[in-house]
Amino acid sequence: MGIIWNLDSMLGWIVMAVNFGSVILYGAMGEILTEKAGHLNLGVPGIMLCGGISGFAATFLYEQNTANPSGFVMLLLGLLSSIVAATLAGLIYAFLTITLKANQNVTGITLTTFGAGIAKHFGSVISAKSGSTAIRSALADEVFNAKIPFLSTNLGVVGKLLFNYGFLVYLAIILAILLQLFFNKTHQGLNLRAIGENPGTADAMGINVTGYKYAAILTGSAISGLGGFLYLVINNVQWSTALDIEGMGWLAVALVIFATWKPVNAIWGGYLFGFLSKAGAYAPTFITGIVISQHIWNMTPYIVTILVLIFVSFRMKRESRPPQALGLSYFREDR
Amino acid sequence: MRAMAQSKANKEPLVHVVRKEDTTTLKKWMLRVIAVAAALLVTGAFVFAVTGINPFNIYGAMVTGTFGTPRRIRNTIKTLTPLLCLGVGLAPAFKMKFWNIGAQGQMLVGALAASFVALTFRNLPGGVLIPLMGLGAILAGALWAVLPAIFKAFWNTNETLFTLMMNYIATFWVMYSVDVWKGESSGFASFKQIAKNAVMPVIAKENFYICTGIVLIVAALMYIYMKRTKHGYELAVVGESEKTARYAGINVKKVTIRTMVLSGAICGLCGFLTVSGIDFTLSHTMNNGFGFTAIVVAWLAKFNPFTMIGTSFMMVFFQNAASEISSMNANATEYLSNVISGIILFFLIGVEFFINYRLVFRKNGKEGK
């Protein structure tokens, strides 16, 4: 067994890791926001799929049916349609689990099934209509994958490493920092965390529990939905039913734990998960003499997450643990 | 100012939610039937909107999809068998309020262990090999479930997240093993070719009837276990309230671990039944993600193994319906099955609210006290 150093391959691997890691990061940020309100949403993969197909359908159909599609309209369409679809999917979950006090696990899993059905159905219908299995929106690819001019090309390795991404990747970092500030530095963030820990006490303090829960879940869904769309963007806005947005969604659920419910940790955690999920393709160029299956690499994020979960429960540190009321529906008369 | 605030505070909300415990069984089922009817209307409208197929043809297709020919009826039983098995496996864990989301993984490692035994001892006679496979699968499933249980019992580690993660480790492990075992060939061969002795004997032209029989027996035993034994009583008390259980002198740790061993063992058994009597091969996509569907099946049946026959039949029914519809029109795809079951389930999940709670509307002209 030996290790060879290959700069180009490493650069490619890192760029892939950051791109895919950002998809997972969007999913995880949405889920963190949701879990802080005390709701474990296992529907995140479904929400990401809805966001992905909606953003794709809007950009693809706009490009197909317009003589001179404009880049700006494309930008708005892609973002808005994925946000709207993801929010609607989140609304189903929110209504059932908040207003109707339904079981969160059952509702979330059903939402993932439903979302996967919606995305794959409409994806294959659009593909069949266009007579090809590999359909893409070239303009959306251009708009969303526009790199930072000058910096990405003229700074050598640094440029390739730091400035070589579409804007959604940078937006994810900004959002994560804002989210962390929201939780720790704002009044509303504190209220939300109080609800996740103990909705009864929060209610007694005069906090509008239902309102906060709806706001957190819907906003969280919108953010997760952007992750679904970003997955398409990094695949050059090309749809095929083999897209593994669902797998990314489950990694997002894992990342929430790995990051111990802190959005800023999820940034590097997401990149690490992205790095590991692409190891099957890149690691063989570095390690010789021994073949480690891609499937073994794919396992690693989940194993690491379990270790973190165990570690967190050993170390009874309050701020690293899941919100106390996670998974429980709140009924005022029960308190 | 203060008077205004006070009058606002005194005003009763328009709708007030009250818990009700007295819903009769008849009324419960009527509400559920209404929910399914409403869901069917929405499903019909949705499928009509996206495919243009006449809703009556859609409902017709639902029936023919399951009952159309004797072969379809047989296929329904074949699909229902593993789903029911997983639902029964989840029942005791859920009753204990241990959210075992890991049935999928426990089934997969069960299938993996059964396949390993089948390939390693393929020359043993079937009468020895098949029980040995079952034993391997049960042990593997139990092991996969006991890990989260131990950590839950001793360190209160979140079991939903733990069991969820275990699913993906199992999935990739199966993918890895299939890669290794198939060697140079394009897919994993059928046990009917490479390990004939590992295949369940044929009864009435089908291999899976034995599996169905085993699952029905397991379901009956589980019913007795949960309703009539001390173990069943203990796990129900732990589910109601851990504090009460401790006060009553129940060893919560022991009950948690014991119940999860049982739950995982039955899910592992499902993996064995699938490779030996239904699929005759190992694949990470076996049983179509039923480990997740079973969560819904068990929950809808309120963890009663016999009711699960009905709820798992319903899930298979709608899955069949969608595959029937998908052949009717170019705009209809097989993926509609997920959408249709999703809609039906949303309604069934939602209706539980109206079974457990009552809405009290504010009386007119009587604001404040």
Q: What is the DSSP track for B88-101? A: HHHHHHHHTT----
Residue B280 lies in a domain: yes
> What pLDDT score does B231 carry?
95
Q: Does A125 touch chain B (CB under 8 A)?
A: yes
Q: Does B352 touch chain A (CB under 8 A)?
A: yes
Most B-contacting residue of A309, A324, A331 (CB-CB within 10 A), to test interface: A309
Contact yes or no for B151 and A310 at CB 8 A = yes
Residue B66 lies in a domain: no
Average model confidence (pLDDT) across chain B: 88
Q: How far is CA A300 from the centre of its chain?
A: 19
Chain B residues whose beta carbon lies within 8 Å of the beta carbon of residue A310: 151, 155, 157
Contact yes or no for B179 and A295 at CB 8 A = yes
Dist CA A30 CA B161 (whole Å): 17
Q: Does B154 touch chain A (CB under 8 A)?
A: no
Question: From the list A40, A120, A331, which residue is nearest B335 (CB)?
Answer: A120
Q: Does B331 touch chain A (CB under 8 A)?
A: yes
Tally of CA atoms within 13 A in the half-sphere of A46 that contains its CB: 25
DSSP assignment string, A213-281: HHHHHHHHHHHHHHHHHHHHHHTTTEE-TT--HHHHHHHHHHHHHHTTT-HHHHHHHHHHHHHHHTHHH
The C-alpha of A223 sits at a distance from chain B's nearest C-alpha, in angstroms, of 21
**Which of these, A42, A91, A271, A226, lies nearest to B167 by C-alpha position?**
A42
Residue B122 lies in a domain: yes
Contact yes or no for B151 and A313 at CB 8 A = yes
DSSP assignment string, A265-312: HHHHHHHHHHHHHTHHHHGGGTEES-PPPHHHHHHHHHHHHHHHHHHH
From A2-6, A222-226, B131-135, B315-319, the region with the lowest mean pLDDT? A2-6
Contact yes or no for A296 and B172 at CB 8 A = yes
Task: Report whether A220 contacts A90 (CB < 8 A).
Answer: yes
> What pLDDT score does B7 carry?
47
Domain of residue B298, residue span = 84-305
pLDDT of residue B55 exceeding 50: yes
The C-alpha of B192 sits at a distance from chain A's nearest C-alpha, in angstroms, of 27
Chain A residues whose beta carbon lies within 8 Å of the beta carbon of residue B357: 101
Q: Does A94 touch chain B (CB under 8 A)?
A: no
Q: Does B175 touch chain A (CB under 8 A)?
A: yes
Residue B143 lies in a domain: yes
Contact yes or no for A302 and B169 at CB 8 A = yes
**Percent helix / strand / coil, chain A, rounded to 5:** 75, 0, 25
CB within 8 Å of A67: residues ≥ 6 apart? none
Chain B residues whose beta carbon lies within 8 Å of the beta carbon of residue A118: 338-339
Is the interface score ipTM higher than 0.95? no
**Which of these, B285, B120, B163, B180, lies nearest to A296 by C-alpha position?**
B180
The C-alpha of B359 sits at a distance from chain A's nearest C-alpha, in angstroms, of 11
pLDDT, one tens digit per residue, over B240-288 is: 888 899 998 999 999 999 999 999 999 999 999 999 999 999 999 888 8
Q: How many domains does chain B have?
A: 1
Residue B194 lies in a domain: yes
> What pLDDT score does B288 carry?
82
Residue B45 lies in a domain: no
Chain B residues whose beta carbon lies within 8 Å of the beta carbon of residue A102: 349-350, 352-353
Chain B residues whose beta carbon lies within 8 Å of the beta carbon of residue A322: 158, 161
Task: Report whether A171 contacts A10 (CB < 8 A).
Answer: no
The C-alpha of A115 sits at a distance from chain B's nearest C-alpha, in angstroms, of 7
Contact yes or no for A299 and B172 at CB 8 A = yes
Residue B262 lies in a domain: yes
Tally of CA atoms within 13 A in the half-sphere of B312 that contains its CB: 31
Contact yes or no for A40 and B341 at CB 8 A = no
The C-alpha of A155 sits at a distance from chain B's nearest C-alpha, in angstroms, of 39
Q: Which domains does chain A have, with CATH numbers?
A: 2-334 (1.10.3470)
Task: Report whether A195 contacts A37 (CB < 8 A).
Answer: yes
How confident is the model over B318-324, as a mean pLDDT?
82
Contact yes or no for A250 and B160 at CB 8 A = no
Q: Indicate the Cα dihedral angle A261, A86, A16, A298, nearest 10°.
A: 60
With H, G, I as helix, E, B as strand and everything else as coil, classify residue B16.
Answer: strand
Instruction: Give me the average pLDDT of each 10-residue run along chain A (335 residues).
Output: 79 92 96 95 95 93 85 91 97 96 92 93 86 75 79 74 86 96 95 92 92 97 96 85 82 91 95 89 80 86 88 72 81 69
Angle at the Cα of A209 (from B35 to A175), degrees rounded to 5? 100
**Chain A, window 214-273: residues with a beta carbon less than 8 angstroms from a chain B beta carbon:** 250, 253-254, 257
Chain A residues whose beta carbon lies within 8 Å of the beta carbon of residue B105: none
Tokens of B58: 């859609």
Contact yes or no for A110 and B160 at CB 8 A = no
Tokens of B252: 């919560």
Q: Does A176 touch chain B (CB under 8 A)?
A: no
Q: Does A296 touch chain B (CB under 8 A)?
A: yes
> What pLDDT score does B1 carry?
41
Which residue in the block uniquely carries the two structure tokens 């999940």?
Answer: B349
- What proportion of chain B, given as a percentage, has pLDDT over 90? 53
Task: Report whether B210 contacts B203 (CB < 8 A).
Answer: yes
How confident is the model over B45-74, as a mean pLDDT?
86
Residue B10 lies in a domain: no
Dist CA B61 CA A173 (whole Å): 49
Task: Report whether B150 contacts B273 (CB < 8 A).
Answer: no
**Which of these, B343, B361, B287, B251, lies nearest to B85 by C-alpha position?**
B287
Q: How many helices (H) and strands (E) does chain A have?
A: 15, 4
